[in-house]
A and B are shown apart, each in its own frame.
Chain A
Amino acid sequence: MGLSVEGLSFRYPGRDEPVLDKMSLDIPDGGVFGLLGPNGAGKTTLISVLAGQLRGASGRVRIAGRVGLVPQDYAFYSMLTARENLRFFAAVQGLGGAQLGRRVEAVAAFSRIEGVLARRAGQLSGGLKRRLNLAIGLLTEPEVLLLDEPTAGVDPQSRAFLLESIRSLARPGRTIVYTSHYMEEVQEICDRVAIMDAGRVLASGTLAELLATAGSEPPPPSRWQRNLEQLFMQLTSRSLRD
């Protein structure tokens, strides 16, 4: 098991409603696991609890190995160059010397940002920023990689590149948890999916398993996206969230 959550609850200070409500979820080792849910479903909060950013959650969380986080925000220093950012985040995570240099070069090559390493991060395009964000999350070669909407606000080319890259990261011993609003992304790269709302998991399984719950038998793959969207709306209702 790559990651397991049991009876996880979390409430922000001063709020009555829990954001995570006795949530349980098993994510197998290896592959890409998609977390789908409308705004306010608790996806980002779950990622934050798993990454250790939020304290005060009750329940059990078991994670096999080091955790890497690629947050929704461009969580790097816009005043620093891309290389300075990579070197800084590598150093604060304990890397040093030749190993630090090797990892910086490796993640820069993987994310195809070698050509912009000397440029200030704040001056990069949206797509390059997303790739730098991903590269920082990969510096320590984490066994569990948490990706919170890593393609938000990028052009189709960058999105295609990011999805391809993320898919290529999946291997036995490395679990990728991926949150998104986009059904086609989930269909393209995820092996398993959970649909969540109001801090609870409403359905979980492979795409074929999930779609089978909506009808008598799974539709052909060409109709998965439409059917996944129908299932999503059916489970989470059509009401606007924000």
Chain B
Amino acid sequence: MRRLLALWQKEWIALSRDIHGLAVLFVMPAVFIVVMSLALSDVFRDGGGRGAEFAVLPADGGAQLAERLAGDGFRAVDPPASEAAARDGVRRGHPALVVVVNSVTPPSFRLLADPGLPATQLAAFQQRIFGVVLADAFGFDLKRAAALEVEVVGNPRGGRPSSVQQNVPAWLIFGMFFVVMPISSLFIVERREGTLARLVSQKVPFSLLLLGRVGPYCVVNLAQAALMLLAGVTLVPWLGGEALVLPARGDLLAAVALSTSLAAIAWGLLVAVCARTMEQATVIGGVGNILAAAIGGIMVPRFVMPENMQTLADASPMAWALDGFHAVMLRQGGAADIAVPCLKLLVLAAALLGAALWVHHRRRA
């Protein structure tokens, strides 16, 4: 334990004196959070962005509903002749939305939606049907209206995040994974300057040398998490964006952050062991992070991706981390909701650490 503490202390001192490396870890995600939250705020805002055409079927009796639904960019158009015609129209995007009313008592509704319609538009329109127009126009109480079954044609999606809810965890995860840079650069310097060889000659097990990085970088990652959440709560609204609302379960948030951190650190250790030069580490670590971010819904939210890209996104560890953060921050989920993403991240961390040890032993053999 004494040796591990000494390694942690050494790493901590070396890291704390690497001002540029620390700046990358803290300033970069903060800038991304602010810029992207503000830039995308309209895209994520319900009812915002470009408008969409809609119709109500059947025409007779639906006119009043169509009138009530119109507004905030949603424009009512003449209804198609039949449901089949409505489906064809929706498939072509004209109109983008058709509300099919089944006039039994109580009435039921199905919403036919253009698959190419931005998910935020679809969500906004659903909200209009449920939250305001139905209750107002037909005198249903909200509780009853919310229980109505609505069929969404296309791919029904739920739980979509707002801009700040998407961007704070997304860029936080991106920043956390960038510990790959200081981990690999300090490791390569150790190897180049003979320090690593000296430690090996002093019978310090290589596994202990790797574990000697975990503690300090976990602290760095958790500090990143705390500061980036704080930026979402204070800095983004101060600059005119939407404020981040923190979840009630801080412990679950910490569990997701810790799992993400361990996966990020293990990735950094594998890059450090595999890369022979600083340039290699920069390319492997940096490009790997950017690819994982692009695929995993960090740069572009997954719910606006086409279906095949959404499937591909499931392979990115950053997507797992984002699922975990969203489960806590967006859906106010419990331990069971974060179990799968956290487990995926921890298994990945163990696998990457094992791979790093294997590569090292293979090279020494």
Query: Can you list, as one digit per residue, whether each of A59-77 has a CB less than 8 Å from chain B (1) or not (0)?
Result: 0000000010101111111
Considering the chains assembled together, what is the distance between the CA atoms of A162 and B314 in angstroms? 60
- A75, B193: Cβ atoms under 8 Å? yes
The secondary structure that dominates the B interface is helix
Most B CB atoms within 10 A — which of A48, A72, A74, A94? A94
B194 is contacted by which of A71, A79, A89 (Cβ under 8 Å)?
Answer: A71
6 A-B contacts, Cβ less than 8 Å apart?
Answer: A54-B364, A69-B201, A74-B193, A91-B5, A92-B6, A94-B3
The B2-46 residues at the A interface (CB cut-off 8 A) are 2-3, 5-7, 9-10, 13-14, 17-18
| A161 sits at the interface (CB 8 A) | no
Considering the chains assembled together, what is the distance between the CA atoms of A53 and B10 in angstroms? 21
Interface residues on chain B, number (Cβ under 8 Å): 26
> Hey, which chain A residues are within 8 Å of B2, CB to CB?
91, 94, 96
> Hey, which chain A residues are within 8 Å of B195, CB to CB?
75-77
B13 is contacted by which of A74, A84, A136 (Cβ under 8 Å)?
Answer: A84
Considering the chains assembled together, what is the distance between the CA atoms of A219 and B203 in angstroms? 45
> Hey, which chain A residues are within 8 Å of B7, CB to CB?
92
Considering the chains assembled together, what is the distance between the CA atoms of A6 and B245 in angstroms? 71
- A53, B197: Cβ atoms under 8 Å? yes
**A93 nearest in chain B by CB position:** B202
- B3, A92: Cβ atoms under 8 Å? yes
Considering the chains assembled together, what is the distance between the CA atoms of A53 and B277 in angstroms? 20
Query: Shortest CB–CB separation between residue B344 and chain A, in angstroms?
Result: 34
Most A CB atoms within 10 A — which of B2, B10, B203, B364? B10
| B198 sits at the interface (CB 8 A) | yes
Interface residues on chain A, number (Cβ under 8 Å): 30
| A56 sits at the interface (CB 8 A) | yes
Considering the chains assembled together, what is the distance between the CA atoms of A53 and B201 in angstroms? 5
Considering the chains assembled together, what is the distance between the CA atoms of A93 and B7 in angstroms? 11
| B200 sits at the interface (CB 8 A) | yes
| A80 sits at the interface (CB 8 A) | yes
Considering the chains assembled together, what is the distance between the CA atoms of A136 and B193 in angstroms? 15
Query: Shortest CB–CB separation between residue A61 and chain B, in angstroms?
Result: 14
- B198, A69: Cβ atoms under 8 Å? yes
Task: List 5 other contacts, CB 8 Å, given A52-B203, A79-B14.
Answer: A52-B200, A73-B194, A75-B195, A76-B193, A79-B17
- Top 5 closest pairs, chain A to chain B, by CB: A73-B194, A91-B6, A75-B194, A51-B201, A75-B198
| A238 sits at the interface (CB 8 A) | no
- A71, B197: Cβ atoms under 8 Å? yes
